[in-house]
Amino acid sequence: MELYRRHSANCPGAKLGIGFTKCSCPIWIYGEIRGRMLRQSLKTRNWGLAVRRLERIESDPTAIAVARATLADGLKFWETDMRTRGLAESTIAAYGFVVRPLIEYCHRDGSETVDAVTTELLTVYRAQRRNLIGEQLAPATQRKELETFRAFFRFLQAQGWVDHNPAAGLRPPKEHSLPTQPFTDEEVFKLRQAIPKLTNANAESAEFGRHRAKALIDLLLYSGLRISDAAKISRGQLDVATGYLTLRAMKNGHPIKVRLPQHAVEGLVGLPVHHPEFFFWGVDSVRLDTRRHVLARVIQRLGELAGVHAHPHRFRDTFACKLLEKGADLRTVQLLLGHHSIKTTERHYAHFVPAQQRLLDAATASLSFDSESG
């Protein structure tokens, strides 16, 4: 088996033949392996990588399929697996949104095959992201991107497409921004007071909008749901008699069962039936993303009218922190929020646990530096 560069017409080495390798033209292999003639691209312009691929193919001819598999192939396979496992289309789309810029970058770099991606390449890619998108990614966004890369290459490794996970060696960024904070009681009061101020050119539509806003606020405050989960609440998931709301979190499929107070149940049941299945969908609603954006806009508008920074996730934070203030432990909050791991709950809400804060306060209160005054 031999390696050679397949020169383009305008390459200086085109006239010198396949013996000329000091250019950046695509690298191909040619020769006989186990009685079979083989001539095909190795999908790389890197000579060192091509040598390693050739060695792998000569030791295991079945590796030729993997050696030629591109990141785009890997993403398509990953998306198919996620659909088979029943993940929401919005979740699958979010993963693809993160991976595709990497695919485009590697394609331009000539490293588009799955085994061409190294920790060094990912490090350079992260460093160049600002130039690629025109702005610096927030640390939280970088962390989420890293989690996606690790999951993607972990999947490819499990399938035998790569020998190791190149994203495993990357360190997460430091986060300096403060996390979202729960609403104060005063802010919740202001949001409720702003509901009657919601207007619309159509009186009937305006009345529905106010009713929907009240039902949405009560649902978020008493369930701790993400806005995406709230947007897809269906009538079949609510037991009107007991007030239990049962669903699986769209983000991770974790089961959630929470009891709503009577007034929150009545708010949902009393909504005009614009869709035969979902509480917050209209007759013409066909996309979950559209509904989620509509509901997020309702919250944003209420915040503007109330003079409160109203982000949908603040309702989730308020739900969790109120539970902790009332004495619930982190494990209980984890189950109600639908977190897959308690580490996630601890990372976001441990500093709101009253008992933990009392220990910290007691520790600092014991400090004394009176000797310095002497």
What integer is the mean pLDDT of 136-156?
87
Q: How far apart are CA 179 and CA 140, in angstroms?
A: 10
pLDDT at position 8, please?
83
365 falls within a domain: no
Average per-residue pLDDT in the chain?
83
The residue that leads in pLDDT, 169 or 1, is 169
**Dihedrals phi, psi of 242, to nearest 5 degrees:** -100, -20
Say how far apart CA 45 and CA 17 lie, in whole Å. Answer: 17
Asked if residue 286 is part of any domain, the answer here is: yes
Q: How confident is the model at residue 312 (pLDDT cuts 50, 70, 90)?
A: very high
pLDDT of residue 245: 92
Per the rule left: phi > 0, alpha: psi between -120 and 50, beta: everything else, 34 is left
Whether the per-residue pLDDT at 207 is higher than 60: the answer is yes
Region 313-332: mean pLDDT is 89
How many Cα atoms occupy the beta-carbon half-sphere of 147 within 13 Å? 8
Burial class (CB in 10 A: 0-12, 13-18, 19+), 174: exposed
* 130 plus 225 within the same structural domain: no
291 and 193 part of one domain: yes
Same domain? 147 vs 289: no
Task: Please say if the pLDDT value at position 226 is more than 80.
Answer: yes
- Cα separation values, 33 from 37, 59, 357, Å: 6, 10, 68
Domain identity same for 192 and 333: yes
The stretch 227-240 carries a mean pLDDT of 90
Q: Are 52 and 77 in contact (CB under 8 A)?
A: no
Asked if 280 and 200 sit in the same domain, the reply is yes
How many degrees, rounded to 5, is the angle at CA 155 between CA 152 and CA 160?
Answer: 125
What amino acid is encoded at 136 in this protein? Q
**More confidently predicted of 149 and 203:** 149
Note whether residue 367 is domain-resident: no
Domain match, 60 and 88 both: no
Report the pLDDT value the prediction gives residue 345, as an integer from 0 to 100: 82
Q: How far apart are CA 200 and CA 208, in angstroms?
A: 10
Q: Is residue 158 domain-shared with residue 288, that is, in the same domain?
A: no
Q: 43: buried, middle or exposed (CB in 10 Å: 19+, 13-18, 0-12)?
A: buried
Distance separating alpha carbons of residues 17 and 4, to the nearest angstrom = 9
The per-residue pLDDT for 277 is 87
Q: Residue type for 53, please?
A: R
| Residue 367 token pair | 């400090």
Domains: count for the chain: 3
Domain shared by 201 and 295, yes or no: yes
Q: pTM of the full predicted structure?
A: 0.61
Q: Give the pLDDT of residue 177.
A: 57
3-state secondary structure at position 159: coil
Determine the average pLDDT of the residues in 191-219: 89
Write out the residue range of the structural domain in which residue 136 sits.
71-169
Residue after which a domain boundary falls, among 17, 43, 64: 64
Give the best-scoring range by mean pLDDT among 28-37, 56-65, 116-125, 304-313.
304-313
Burial class (CB in 10 A: 0-12, 13-18, 19+), 230: buried
- Which band of pLDDT confidence, cut at 50, 70 and 90, is reported for residue 283? low
Q: What's the pLDDT at 355?
A: 63
Q: Buried b vs exposed e over 307-320: b needs ≥16 C-beta within 10 Å?
A: ebebbbebbbbbbb
Residues 124, 266: one domain? Answer: no
Mean of the pLDDT values across residues 118-143?
76
Q: What is the mean pLDDT of residues 85-111?
A: 85
Residue 136 CA to residue 133 CA, distance in Å, equals 8
Pick the last residue of a domain from 39, 64, 89. Answer: 64
**Sole residue written with tokens 């007691």:** 362
The residue that leads in pLDDT, 140 or 152, is 152
**The predicted structure's pLDDT at residue 65:** 54
Query: Above 70 in pLDDT, residue 144?
Result: yes
Structure tokens at 179: 């996390």
Identify which of 280, 279, 277 has the alpha carbon closest to the alpha carbon of residue 291.
280
| Residue 8 counted as domain residue | yes
What is the per-residue pLDDT for 17? Answer: 78
* Percentage above 70 pLDDT, the chain: 87
Q: State the CATH number of the domain containing residue 92.
A: 1.10.150.130
Encoding tokens for residue 335? 């189950």
Kindly give the residue spans of alpha helices, DSSP state H, lying in the chain.
47-59, 63-67, 71-84, 89-109, 119-133, 139-158, 185-194, 203-223, 227-231, 262-269, 288-306, 312-325, 330-337, 342-349, 354-365
pLDDT of residue 374: 46
**360 alpha-carbon distance from chain centroid:** 33
pLDDT at residue 348, as a whole number: 79
Q: Which residue has the higher pLDDT, 291 or 305?
A: 305
- Whether residue 176 is predicted with pLDDT greater than 70 in this model: the reply is no
* Average pLDDT value for residue range 132-141: 67
Segment 34-50, tens digit of pLDDT: 666 777 777 677 788 78
Neighbouring C-beta atoms of residue 128, cutoff 10 Å: 11
Identify the residue whose tokens are 């939280």.
140
pLDDT at 252: 66
366 within domain boundaries: no
* Alpha carbons 91 and 83: distance in angstroms, whole number: 10
Residues 60 and 75 in one domain: no
Question: Has residue 176 been placed in a domain?
Answer: no
Of 81 and 13, the structure prediction assigns the larger pLDDT to: 81
Q: Are residues 126 and 15 in the same domain?
A: no
The listed range with the strongest mean pLDDT (23-27, 84-88, 143-147, 247-251) is: 143-147
pLDDT of res. 22: 85
